[in-house]
Structure 1
Amino acid sequence: MNRPLRRLSLVVAFLFFALFASTTWVQFVSAGTLNAMPGNSRQLYSEFGRERGAILVQGGAAVATSQRVDDPYEFQRTYPAGPLYAPLTGYYSLRYGTAGIERAENDVLSGSADELFYRNLSSLLTGEKPQGADVTLTLQPRVQQAAWDALAGRKGAVVALDPRTGDVLAMVSSPSYDPNTLATHDGAAQEQAWTRLNGDEDDPLVNRATSALYPPGSTFKLVTAAAALESGDYTADSALAGPQELDLPQTSNTLKNDEGTACGPNDQVSLADALKISCNTAFGWLGEQLGADALEEQAGKFGFGQSLSIPTSVATSRYPTGDDVAGPLLAYSAIGQGSDVATPLQVAMISAAIANDGVVMKPNLVAKVSEAGGSGSVIEQPSPQELGRAVSTGTARTLQQMMELVVSRGTGTRAQIDGATVGGKTGTAQHGVGLPPYAWFTSFAEKGDREVAVAVVIEDGGTTESAYGGRLSAPVAKTVMEAALDG
């Protein structure tokens, strides 16, 4: 009789141990994984039932906030400025997750970051729900609005940087979208908006300033000019070959100037004048003299080929290598065509580095993280960070003078600003046979103690003339620079 009882007690003990072990595993070992499962409705209720921190811009205006709602989730994300900041803030959606700053800074916005541990512990002891921290962006509302208005709904992007710190003063992508349509708790409306936005051939969900890669066109001539000056073999006054057409190796094709004429007397032009009038043949010839390795190295110093987070992700700009820059393709790559691709942010970084005497600053969107309410104590405040030196101070100042000539007497005269020093470079980038080119303008401006660098790209600009970036994109850049200098 005792033996069956002992066996039964062993079975009961084993079952008790198994129950204890499985409960411990679920509650402690697997808790994080289970909580993070997308289908866990309890996790959704917990996350959306917590007041998320606000996203603010300079001056304290909120561009993303959490509003209390009368449903099981308690809070809903709202975006007061709608499309104006959407490519930057991103969205916070029940069904489709996060994007933009909402994703990059999710830990602090949701209140789950390690930096908020002691504050959350205090909330736990008092019985209050943890609250997310506020994230203040570097964006200047006046500059952002000026960029949005100047782009006027055309497809493209605008980026404005502080050359000395790397702070992003404005970043506009068009077309944009209303993130409120994805933040709604109405499931059917959310799905309808998502389907519509993803089916739009103009890709409004893409931040063209950081995620779209374009041929940089003649804005890349700044990189080629920098490589020439850094080599020590050229000065601003050096004579370059600038014929009407440049014969290319290994092909019967030629590189032509858009105007159909030579760039100077006796088919020669100085480096400074070649930049001023955007001479294709001169820069194609110069690229061949410098070689692909020198151009790749110089492009890399400006940021090409480097992965970047600001803290949102940025597509990697690329200068071609191998077969993509061999033979006749080298001349095309030297003028920003061929397989060259760059984000508008990267093109703005080129002008910013030149304006900053050759030093490339890491672009940054976040000014500070602080206690909720905007006026609380600062939890984190990023410092300006150098990415490296693109060119020597002497080369940078030569390039500044050459870019100023572009604006004062060259293809960029529509960017002139009274009382300010302005330098720039136009660009018209081909991207397919029979397709309208992209119109570029990149620039810097200085007035008093204020300084700004800007890049503008407008898709499908219109004509094939090299100055078209000056006619279409330069006025946009001018408006943005004026807002930054006078703000």
Structure 2
Amino acid sequence: MNAPIRRLAMLAALLFATLLISSTWIQFVDAKAINALPANRRTDLTNFNRERGAILVAGDPIASSRPVKDELKWLRVYSQGTRYPHITGFYSFTVPPDRGLEYADNALLSGSSDKLFYRRISDLFTGREPAGASLELTINPKAQAAADEALGNQRGAVVALDPRTGAVLALVSHPAYDPNVLAMHTSEAVGKAWDALLADPGKPLINRAIAGNLYPPGSTFKLITAAAALETAKYTKDSVLPGPAQLTLPGVTEPLANHDHQACGADDKTTLDHALVISCNTAFADLGMTLGADALRTQAAKFGFGEALRIPLPVTASTIPATLNEPQTAQSAIGQYEVRATPMQMAMVSAAIANEGILMQPYLVERVVSSDLTIIEKADHKQLSEAISPETAQTLTTMMVDVVTSGTGTPAQIPGVSVAGKTGTAQHGVGAAPHAWFTAFAPADDPKVAVAVVVEDGGDAGSEAGGGTVAGPIAKAVMEAVING
């Protein structure tokens, strides 16, 4: 072979080798990244041509796939419309899914998860149509319905947990939206619906229960301040605290006042228990300064503040500022200044108190089941932290029962059931009506449900809102739904 032919042969061999290496790299090494590209509609077509797993509540599908006669072959259907959108999210060919379980657990629902590898191999050899896995949720449908209906047309959110396991029993955010309008196969109609949702001033796409712009927790945070005090062993529920009508803060000209501008007890004094029962701002602000910012931050962290969770939906971490001077510490001790929390976080606070101080990891998916009914995954009950001692938990329970029996939380009373709760009225802007909060658990002596409710801007009550009167009845409805089955 002469030199020119030899060089040409080597060049051809090099080109073939390059082609082999590049195609191998694309098909194996870069395959996942390429499949994940938003512009790669081939992957979407493949997924739509496969039956997607259902999302189930108490055995009934709240999201399922129905066969249709178009190129996508399957239409995603949400049977209860606006009741579960912030849990399910949506699955759309036109709008890339970016929220809810349809996004968070897409690999399982679509059947592409590595956990379904052997199922896919079996389908290949048996000729069965590939299908995704189904998610069986922890949601109690009666609790979800009660939360949805009681919150009504008010903006806000409700979260209910099983304090013993961390199971999410209800998760509602209002305003809601209908995911069916985004699942349609008519691109123009879906595009208009999506644009309308984005332009809606009520921001219905935001899951207020676990994300979005977090809320100042107001007086519900006093549970954390009280816990920090009790954990020092220097305080009991009968410890005497200063409770004047207003408290002068160091270096601040405007004093901190109680909501009724009255002293919290005779001679400007009150007990820790009575301060919680009537939600005395000055007593807890003074207590916060005495304990110090580090003690508040440490106790808040034990309840889950600063923890970005996945349930598997991403839960935004609740926050307390890293640095606080004395006036800021006083404000933070009553859930104001720059303290911010999700309803999920405040439900976790009540759940930990209900569970003798043990905070369990919240979770939303009980089981993952393949299309042949094989259990792929089952939820573990995981301890997140020991937030407080059992003794502190018992003391706080007694104090929270007093709140509902004879304090600001009386609207949450349930006949024949002992309820432990705490109200909150959170200021969040000059001239704006306060947010109304309530967090609770019941029965107090055998807890089955912990709940947190926030109603933005006082809901229908507006500036006249109180946490007990506005959010308390919503929490009551959810707790009754769980307790009565």
TM-score by length of 2: 0.96
Return the alpha-carbon distance in structure 2 between the equivalents of residues 463 and 39 of structure 1: 46
Return the alpha-carbon distance in structure 2 between the equivalents of residues 252 and 260 of structure 1: 17
1:185/1:237 CA distance change after superposition, 3 Å:
same
1:202/1:7 CA distance change after superposition, 3 Å:
same
Q: 3-state DSSP class of the match of 1:93?
A: coil
1:40 and 2:40 correspond: yes
Return the alpha-carbon distance in structure 2 between the equivalents of residues 393 and 36 of structure 1: 48
Aligned length: 481
**2:298 equivalent in structure 1:** 297
Any idea what the Cα deviations from partners look like across 1:353-383, whole Å, max 9, x if unmatched?
111111111111011001227xx23111111
1:191 and 2:191 correspond: yes
1:95 and 2:102 correspond: no
Q: Which moved more, 1:402-411 or 1:19-28?
A: 19-28
**1:230 equivalent in structure 2:** 231
1:455 and 2:456 correspond: no
Cα shift at 1:447: 7.7
Q: 3-state DSSP class of the match of 1:211?
A: coil
Return the alpha-carbon distance in structure 2 between the equivalents of residues 240 and 448 of structure 1: 28
1:480/1:19 CA distance change after superposition, 3 Å:
closer
TM-score by length of 1: 0.95
1:331/1:14 CA distance change after superposition, 3 Å:
closer
**1:412 equivalent in structure 2:** 409
Question: Could you tell me whether the CA contact under 8 Å between 2:441 and 2:447 is conserved in 1?
Answer: no
Cα shift at 1:140: 0.7
1:306/1:11 CA distance change after superposition, 3 Å:
closer
**1:61 equivalent in structure 2:** 60
Return the alpha-carbon distance in structure 1 between the equivalents of residues 3 and 406 of structure 2: 106
Q: 3-state DSSP class of the match of 2:194?
A: helix
Return the alpha-carbon distance in structure 2 between the equivalents of residues 238 and 167 of structure 1: 35
1:13/1:225 CA distance change after superposition, 3 Å:
closer
Letter in 1 for 2:195: T
1:332/1:15 CA distance change after superposition, 3 Å:
closer
Matches of residues 430-469 of structure 1 in structure 2 within 5 Å? 430-446=427-443, 451-461=448-458, 462=461, 468-469=466-467
**1:477 equivalent in structure 2:** 475
**1:279 equivalent in structure 2:** 280
Cα shift at 1:17: 3.6
Return the alpha-carbon distance in structure 2 between the equivalents of residues 259 and 23 of structure 1: 74
**1:111 equivalent in structure 2:** 111
Return the alpha-carbon distance in structure 2 between the equivalents of residues 231 and 115 of structure 1: 47
Cα shift at 1:10: 4.0
Matches of residues 179-328 of structure 1 in structure 2 within 5 Å? 179-212=179-212, 213-322=214-323, 325-328=324-327
Cα shift at 1:232: 1.2
Cα shift at 1:271: 0.4
Letter in 2 for 1:236: K
Q: Which moved more, 1:6-15 or 1:376-385?
A: 6-15
Q: 3-state DSSP class of the match of 2:204?
A: coil
**2:76 equivalent in structure 1:** 77
Q: Which moved more, 1:335-344 or 1:15-24?
A: 15-24
Cα shift at 1:11: 4.2
| Structure 2: stretches of 5+ with no match in the other structure | none
1:392/1:23 CA distance change after superposition, 3 Å:
closer
Cα shift at 1:188: 0.7
Letter in 2 for 1:228: A
Return the alpha-carbon distance in structure 2 between the equivalents of residues 397 and 7 of structure 1: 86
Return the alpha-carbon distance in structure 2 between the equivalents of residues 159 and 20 of structure 1: 54
1:333 and 2:344 correspond: no
Question: Could you tell me whether the CA contact under 8 Å between 1:147 and 1:479 is conserved in 2?
Answer: yes
**1:344 equivalent in structure 2:** 343
Question: Could you tell me whether the CA contact under 8 Å between 2:436 and 2:470 is conserved in 1?
Answer: yes
Cα shift at 1:269: 0.3
Return the alpha-carbon distance in structure 1 between the equivalents of residues 256 and 11 of structure 2: 87
Return the alpha-carbon distance in structure 1 between the equivalents of residues 330 and 9 of structure 2: 86
Return the alpha-carbon distance in structure 2 between the equivalents of residues 318 and 294 of structure 1: 15
1:25/1:453 CA distance change after superposition, 3 Å:
closer
RMSD, matched Cα: 1.7
**1:359 equivalent in structure 2:** 358
1:287/1:121 CA distance change after superposition, 3 Å:
same
**1:86 equivalent in structure 2:** 85
1:176 and 2:173 correspond: no
Cα shift at 1:30: 3.6
Any idea what the Cα deviations from partners look like across 1:203-257, whole Å, max 9, x if unmatched?
1001100003100000000001111111111110011000011010012210101
Letter in 2 for 1:73: L
Cα shift at 1:38: 2.5
Return the alpha-carbon distance in structure 2 between the equivalents of residues 256 and 80 of structure 1: 49
Q: 3-state DSSP class of the match of 2:443?
A: strand
Question: Could you tell me whether the CA contact under 8 Å between 1:354 and 1:400 is conserved in 2?
Answer: yes
**1:386 equivalent in structure 2:** 383
Any idea what the Cα deviations from partners look like across 1:401-435, whole Å, max 9, x if unmatched?
00000000001111111121101101000000000
1:75/1:225 CA distance change after superposition, 3 Å:
same
Any idea what the Cα deviations from partners look like across 1:442-461, whole Å, max 9, x if unmatched?
10111886611111100010
Question: Could you tell me whether the CA contact under 8 Å between 1:155 and 1:459 is conserved in 2?
Answer: yes
Any idea what the Cα deviations from partners look like across 1:178-207, whole Å, max 9, x if unmatched?
111111111111111111111111110011
